[in-house]
Amino acid sequence: MQPVALVTGANRGIGFEIALALAGQGYFVIATARQPAEARPAYVGHSVEVWELDLRYAGSVARLAERLRRAPGRLDVLVNNAGVMLDSGRRGALSLDPDVLRNTLDVNLIGALRITQACAPLLREAPAGRIVNLSSSLASLAGMGSGTPAYRISKTALNALTRILAAEFADTPVKVNAMCPGWCRTEIGGPHAPRSAHEGADTAVWLSTLPADGPSGGFFRDRAPLEW
Ligand SMILES: NC(=O)c1ccc[n+]([C@@H]2O[C@H](COP(=O)([O-])OP(=O)(O)OC[C@H]3O[C@@H](n4cnc5c(N)ncnc54)[C@H](OP(=O)(O)O)[C@@H]3O)[C@@H](O)[C@H]2O)c1
């Protein structure tokens, strides 16, 4: 049976490139989008279906999980790619609007948690389940500085969730890793970033397809460990 991958926020940017790459490697890919009709044309001719998902709403996550259980009834790879940067250009935590932090956490942390919880039963049944969390080097405590505090906090928390989930799945084949795509030309990265979204997708695709002796509970960029 064809392995199945779910990529959140795959209507554009890095998520779109991850979905295309996994389809190219033989996966049946479910690419999620908040506006699926707008996303579908870009995937014509690929082994990709676009399903609706807004991570802010528990009902949206539950609907997608129920559909997944009915058919294809299998999930091998979950890529938690969807993310927001709502405090781009903002310097300090002292002037951070708590609502901006709350809305950022709602997608980048709680959204990832919601969909992971919903997909966990199918991932456990998979022969080689993989969870990949799109984090950022801005989340690294070792290099923590000011700027975009809500985004940084949300991704540091996502890194913590990565470690916790890796521990919880330790007695199963499921591997859970976080990664930084590097600075990429997307809506979040802006037009002046040095990398394409395609280049940014590489490490996520590698972690999605790790062999049985691959790492779990790690943080990577360019297929190499990154400091927490
Ligand atoms: N680009 C970079 O330089 C960079 C660097 C480090 C990490 N990252 C991370 O890489 C990931 C992908 O980012 P990107 O650069 O490709 O940015 P992007 O082009 O802005 O894509 C973000 C994706 O997340 C989706 N999304 C936002 N809110 C959502 C919600 N509530 N529910 C479901 N989906 C939602 C967006 O959908 P809509 O189109 O509907 O808004 C879009 O598909 C993010 O987690 C980001 O933090 C990016």
Residue whose CA lies nearest to ligand 1 atom number 45: 83
> How crowded is the C-beta side of 108, counted as CA atoms within 13 Å?
28
Distance, CA of 11 to CA of 163 (rounded, Å): 28
CATH topology of domain 4-225: Rossmann fold (3.40.50)
| Tens of pLDDT, residues 170-204 | 999 999 999 999 999 999 999 999 999 999 999 99
Q: How is residue 163 written in tokens?
A: 């470690």
Give how far Cα 139 sits from Cα of 3, 45, 174, 177, Å.
31, 37, 24, 14
For residue 134, which atom of ligand 1 is closest to its CA? 45
Whole-number pLDDT of residue 90: 67
Single-letter residue type at 32: T
Q: Is ligand 1 within 6 A of the CB of residue 53?
A: yes
Task: Name the token pair of 226.
Answer: 């990154």
At 89 the pLDDT is: 81
DSSP 138-203: GG-STT--SS-HHHHHHHHHHHHHHHHHHHHTTTSS-EEEEE---SBSSTTT-TT-SB-HHHHHHH
Domain ranges within the chain, ordered by starting residue: 4-225
Percent of the chain with pLDDT over 70: 100
Read off the pTM: 0.99
What residue has token string 């014509």?
44
pLDDT category of residue 1 using cuts at 50, 70 and 90: confident
Distance from the CA of 40 to the center of ligand 1, in angstroms? Answer: 17
The partner residues of 132 in beta bridges, in order of sequence, read 79, 177
Q: Verify whether ligand 1 is closer than 6 Å to residue 54 (CB atom).
A: yes
Region 10-27: mean pLDDT is 98
**What is the Å distance from ligand 1's center to 31 Cα?**
13
Q: Is 31 in the pocket of ligand 1 (CB under 6 A)?
A: no
151 among known catalytic residues: yes
What is the rounded average pLDDT of the residues 85-114? 94
Q: Determine which helix (DSSP H) or strand (DSSP E) holds 211, and give its type and residue range.
A: none
Q: Is the CB of 188 under 6 A from ligand 1?
A: yes
Q: How far is the CA of 124 from the centre of ligand 1 (A)?
A: 26
Per the CB < 8 A criterion, the answer to whether 227 and 143 are in contact is: yes
Candidates 27, 43, 57, 151; catalytic one: 151
For the chain, what is the largest distance between any 2 Cα atoms, rounded to a whole number of angstroms?
Answer: 53
